[in-house]
A and B are shown apart, each in its own frame.
Chain A
Amino acid sequence: MTVELFVQYLFAGITYGAIYAIVAIGFNIIYNTTGIINFAQGEFVMLGGMISISLLPYLPLTLAIAVAVLVTMIFGALLEICFIRWLESPSVLRMIIITIGLSILTREAALHIWGESIRSLPYFVGNEITTVAIWGARISPQVLWVIGACGLMVLFLSLFFQTTSVGREMRACAANRKAAILCGINTRNMVTLSFVLSAGIGALAGCVMSPITSTEYSIGTGLAIKGFTVAILGGLGNSMAAVGAGLLLGILEAFSISVLPLAFKDAIAIAILLVILFVRPHGLFGSATAAGLKEF
């Protein structure tokens, strides 16, 4: 394999890995505050892309993206307030079924609003055939946008969780909910906030990836499966581990093409998920003892 080809595969892998990582982080944020997997996470990504595309004729690109992210965040908050918040000590299974239902509902609503057609945002810089050369490989500048935006989101989130008081309250809620309540933290608001945050990062990822991958009403499901794989692979609840696992999966998928037929690409992700669930259910970077203490 030449250096050029290696770099080409590497960039394809990192692009996808970054998107998977963002979806996985979305899963993790909600998992940490509620203990459930929000299967509507992929739909946030779809909504971000779709809303920004619809706004584009009326607003400049940056503003369209900003409004789309904001609207998706409000949507995330509404989902939580209408369907999760009022439940009295719900079981994990019940909440998961609710999120699956919400995911289907959102998808069908999107189908009615936007139809089947596949749309995309324009390239942020240049157009469909603009390329930049990096170490002999040629990539679209949009790839750099995706990697940059995902990197920034990770940075922003870790700063938010480490340094702000709201971030610390959310972490307290994740660490021990009862103790957090006793300290006077409104855990219900923290749950809503976690939906808002993961909707926001999902929507932003949906916008930056749209020029490369296009957006249609049904892209959420596939992304949710990949993001879930990554979240499990890294260890549920650990956002930094999700970044590592996401990049790992993306790069594995990209390089698998050089030895296996392309049609096996998705099979690899699912195979990895199965192996991890059997061998290391607490994830590559997680600890077995910590996982043993959790309900799910």
Chain B
Amino acid sequence: MKYRSIKFIIALLIASLVFIPTAAADTVKIGAILAVTGPASFLGGPEARTLEMLVEQTNAAGGINGKQVELIIKDSGGNPEKAISFAKQLIEEEQVVAVLGPSTSGETMKIKKIFEQAQTPLISCAAAEVIVNPVAQYVFKTPQKDSYAAQKIFQTMKDKGISKIAVLAGNTGFGKAGKAQLLKIAPTMGIEVVEAEVYDKKSKDLSAVIAKIKANKDVQAVVNWSIVPAQAIVAKNMRQAGWDVPLFQSHGFGNIKYVEAAGAAAEGIIFPAGRLLVADMLPDGHPQKALLTEYIQAYEGKYQEAASTFGGHAYDAYIIATAAIEKAGTDKAKIRDAIEQIKDLPGTGGIFSFSAEDHNGLDIDSFEMITVKGGKFVPYGNALAAPQNVKIQ
């Protein structure tokens, strides 16, 4: 018996000696740094699940150029210091060909330099415009730019005849960057910001600040730029105060869960977002339609939760990376060049066309204005009778 098991172990050892090196040579190693847990888990969770699903699909279909994809996901918890050490680990120890993520803008800015020095492509899933402006050789990002979101919002306001607005923002990196963009772009579009307030990201009730800006009779609309849960609280407090001016939110509102959190108060909220949220309402033949419906069905079928635009950012990062690897092989510099050459690649966030100057690859048309109607996302404007104001009971 003993003799047998020793023989078995030896056989295993030989087998491993024979198989492992060849297996290693046949995989493409891609790293990912995502905030799977912690305060930004609403971003990192769907992103990580999306990547796991996509890698499974790629490998089942035979991999990239016959090589299986090996994905190494590191959970940074939204912490920039952890992101830095994981970045070094992925580049130096794991020798990955590219890294997807991080989920947040703060982390991305902290590790940008590391990727420049190591000459490894980084495709961030974070929104802030500073990630790709000014352009860094090896750093790319998939979410649409803040400034496009602000422009899109102001354009909608002008169409509605709104010229004086109040701006509310949470004190997060996302909120502060958004507020700065709004204040910078407003004058160029003929919009006047008459009230601006920043609140704590953990605020549970904003009725007092709503009362304050409501007292300014000039305010014709409110723009709120924050992440959950304040997005829902602002909406609730405004409607509870009997205030029915239009409420605009940032592209961070793109998750049906936030609509559920705000309940009836979410009705009529207008915000810019990628087309993922209204995929089923896109005209047939739209270049994004097939891809979006396929992604949503696969994701929702596998994880029993609604697909969000955040998971979509990881989807885009993955298809950009794999498209480049398919073309350029596993040389990191060549992958970088291949990403810059990608043209007209449909993703969940829009149609990507990169260039040496543009490492985001999306234009303003990748945003669609979306509103909430009957607890669902519908395209704003296209909707037959877009709710201008919410009736107060």
Interface residues of A (CB under 8 A from B): 2, 5, 8-9, 11-13, 15-16, 116-118, 120, 126-131, 133, 137-140, 212-214, 216, 219, 222, 253-254, 257-258, 261-263, 265-266
Taking CB atoms, residues of chain A closer than 8 Å to B209 are 257, 262
CA of A86 to CA of B299, assembled, Å: 52
Q: What are 7 A-B pairs with beta-carbon distances under 8 A?
A: A9-B211, A15-B205, A118-B228, A128-B240, A129-B239, A140-B240, A262-B209
Output the least CB separation between B309 and chain A (Å).
18
Q: Does B66 touch A at the CB level, under 8 Å?
A: no
Q: CA–CA, A263 to B198, complex, Å? A: 6
A263 touches B171 (CB 8 A): yes
Other-chain residue from A2, A118, A138 in contact with B242 (beta carbon distance below 8 A): A138
Which of A116, A140, A257, A262 meets B39, CB within 8 Å? A116
Whether A129 and B393, one on each chain, are in contact in the complex, defined by CB atoms closer than 8 angstroms, is yes
A262 to B197, CA, bound (A): 7
Q: In the complex, how many angstroms separate the beta carbon of A27 from the nearest chain B beta carbon?
A: 20
Contact partner of A126 (CB less than 8 A), chosen from B202, B203, B242, B393, is B393
Please tell me if the beta carbons of A12 and B205 are within 8 angstroms of each other in the complex.
yes
Cα–Cα distance between A133 and B393 once the two chains are bound (Å): 12
Shortest beta-carbon contacts, A-B, top 9: A138-B242, A213-B204, A128-B265, A128-B263, A129-B239, A8-B211, A140-B240, A12-B208, A118-B229
Does B207 count as interface, using CB distance less than 8 angstroms? yes
| A-B interface pairs (CB < 8 A), number | 105
Nearest CB in chain B to that of A223: its residue:
B204
Docked complex Cα distance between A244 and B295 (Å): 56
Collect the chain B residues with CB atoms within 8 Å of residue A216's CB: 229
List chain B residues, Cβ under 8 A from A11.
207
| Contact partner, A129, options B200, B205, B240, B261, Cβ 8 Å | B240
Known contacts A213-B205, A262-B197; is A129 also within 8 Å of B390 by CB? Answer: yes
Contact in complex: B204, A219 (CB < 8 Å): yes
The residues in B between 194 and 252 inclusive whose CB is less than 8 angstroms from any CB of A are 197-200, 202-209, 211-212, 215, 228-229, 232-233, 235-236, 239-243
Question: A129-B263, A131-B393 known; 4 other A-B pairs, CB under 8 Å?
Answer: A5-B211, A116-B38, A131-B392, A138-B242
List the B side residues contacting A117 at CB < 8 Å. Answer: 257
Whether a CB of chain A sits under 8 angstroms from the CB of B262 is yes
A131 touches B211 (CB 8 A): no
Q: Which residues of B contact A140 (CB under 8 A)?
A: 236, 240
Minimum distance in angstroms from B138 CB to a CB of chain A: 32
Task: Please indicate the chain A residues that have their CB under 8 angstroms from the CB of B263 in the complex.
Answer: 127-129
B208 near A257 with CB under 8 A, answer yes
Report the Cα distance A127→B260, complex, angstroms.
12
Nearest chain A CB to B111 CB, angstrom units: 23
Q: Closest B residue to A253 by CB, please name it.
A: B208
By the criterion CB–CB under 8 Å, are B264 and A127 in contact?
Answer: yes
The answer to whether residues A222 and B202 also contact, given A8-B211, A128-B239, A214-B229 and a CB cut-off of 8 A, is: yes
CA distance A11 to B264 in the complex (A): 22
B301 CB to nearest chain A CB (Å):
21
A258 engages B229 (CB within 8 Å): no
Q: How distant is the Cα of A2 from the Cα of B211 in the complex, in angstroms? A: 11
Select from chain A the residue with minimum beta-carbon distance to B238: A129
Residue of B nearest to A119 (CB): B261
B241:A138 contact, CB within 8 angstroms = yes
Closest chain-A Cβ to B237's Cβ sits at a distance in Å of: 8
Asked if A130 and B393 make an inter-chain contact with CB atoms under 8 angstroms apart, the answer reads: yes
**B200–A214 touching, CB < 8 Å:** no
Minimal beta-carbon separation of A104 from chain B (angstroms): 16
A8 to B208: give the CA distance in the assembly, Å.
7
Residues of B within 8 A of A15 (CB): 205, 207
| Complex Cα spacing A15 to B390, Å | 26
> Closest residue to A265 on the B side, CB-wise?
B200
Q: Please give the distance in Å from A109's CB to the nearest CB on chain B.
A: 15
